[in-house]
Amino acid sequence: MTRLREARFGGRRKARLDAALKAAATAVEAELAALIPNHDAPHARLLRAMRYAALGGGKRLRPFLVLECAKLFDADPAGSLRAACAVEMVHCYSLVHDDLPAMDDDEMRRGRPTTHVEFDEATAILAGDALLTLAFETLAAPETHADAAVRAELVLVLARAAGMNGMVGGQMIDLEAEGTALDLAQITTLQAMKTGALITAACEAGAILGRADATARRALVAFARDLGLAFQIADDLLDVEGEAARVGKGVGKDAAAGKATFVSALGIDQARARALSLAEAAACRLAGFGERAETLRSAARFVVERQH
C-alpha cells in the first residue's frame, strides 16, 4: 500500500473509531444520568457528588469496550448499556478515591477540580462508595439481562476485577512500592491488576452479555490484556511527555512520587515501542471476528496515540 493510501485508510479508520467512541460516550452519559438520580432528597449532596464524579467527562473507554464486545454477538443494546455504565461507575469510583489526599492527593481530574476539592473529603469517599455499590445493583437488576445466570456472571467478573486480586490489590502494591525500584515483571503485574483487570472485565462483560463461546471469550480476554498494558504504557508516557491542560490532570506526578513505571523501567523510546507492539498484538487477537471487530482493532491501534 502506498503511503498516501495508507494514511487515507488510517484516517478513515480513525474517523470511524472517533464516531463510535463519541456515540458510546453520549449513550453512556445519558444512561448514567438516568441511573444516578438528581432529585431533592435528604441525601441530595451525595447524589450531586456522584453525578459530579460520573458525568461530564472521561473518554469512556471501558464502557465503549463493553458495548463493542457485546455488539460482536448481537447482545441486547439496552442491557449492554447498563452493564457498560456499571463498569464506568467502578472506574469513576476508583478515580475519586485515588485522587483523595490519603492516596494520590490530586486536585485536577478530567479538566476540573477533583471530587473532594469540589465537595469535601468525606463526601468524596461516600460518593465513591455509592458508585461502587450502584454498579453491582445495576448489574444485578433484571433490566440488565433476563437470565439471572448471566447477571450473576457479570457481577462475579466485575467483582473479581475490582477487588483484592484486581484493581484494589494493584493500588495497594502501587502505594507500598513508592520509592522502590520495581523490575519490569513487577510493574507489569501491578499494572495488570490496577488498570488491566477492569479493562479485561469490560471486554469479558461484552462476551458474557452475548453468551459468547469459550474460544471467542478467550480471544476477547487476550485482546483486553494486551490493550490494557498498551493503555497503561501510553498513560505513563503521557505523564512524562503530556501537557497538563490537554491531559486534564497533573503530569509529571509519577517521577515526583518516586513511582516505578514502564517509562522508568524501559526509557521513553522502548516504552513507546512496547506499547505499539502490544497494540498490534491486541489487534491480532481479534482475527477470528473478521470485519465485525474492525472498530475494536482500531481502538487498540489508536489507544497508544492518545493525547489525553
Footprint of ligand GRG (CB under 6 A): 58-59, 61, 91, 94-95, 97-98, 103, 110, 167-168, 171, 194-195, 235
Q: How far is the CB of 37 from ligand GRG (least distance, A)?
A: 22
Distance CA 138, CA 83 (A): 7
Q: How far is the CB of 245 from ligand GRG (least distance, A)?
A: 15
Residue sitting closest to ligand GRG (CB): 58
Q: Is 138 exposed, middle or buried (0-12, 13-18, 19+ CB in 10 A)?
A: buried
Q: How far is the CB of 185 from ligand GRG (least distance, A)?
A: 19
Q: How far is the CB of 91 from ligand GRG (least distance, A)?
A: 6
CA distances from 30 to 25, 58, 101, 261 (A): 9, 14, 31, 35
Return the number of the residue (196 or 210) whose C-beta is nearest ligand GRG: 196
Task: Let me know: does 203 contact 220? Beta carbons within 8 Å.
Answer: yes
The residue length of the chain stands at 308
Return the number of the residue (167 or 265) whose C-beta is nearest ligand GRG: 167
What kind and span of H or E run contains 225? Answer: helix 214-241
Return the number of the residue (108 or 221) whose C-beta is nearest ligand GRG: 108
What kind and span of H or E run contains 109? Answer: strand 108-109
Task: Let me know: does 192 contact 251? Beta carbons within 8 Å.
Answer: no
Return the number of the residue (213 or 305) whose C-beta is nearest ligand GRG: 305
Q: How far is the CB of 39 from ligand GRG (least distance, A)?
A: 26
Distance CA 191, CA 185 (A): 10
Return the number of the residue (61 or 208) whose C-beta is nearest ligand GRG: 61
Q: How far is the CB of 97 from ligand GRG (least distance, A)?
A: 4
Q: Which residues pair with 113 in a beta bridge?
A: 108
Distance CA 308, CA 129 (A): 26
- H helices of 242-307, in order, are 244-247, 253-256, 262-266, 268-284, 294-303
Q: In the block, which residue shows the cell 467483582?
A: 159
Return the number of the residue (153 or 235) whose C-beta is nearest ligand GRG: 235
Please give the grid coordinates belonging to residue 33. 444520568
Q: How far is the CB of 90 from ligand GRG (least distance, A)?
A: 9
Return the number of the residue (97 or 145) whose C-beta is nearest ligand GRG: 97
Secondary structure class of 112 (helix, strand, coil):
strand
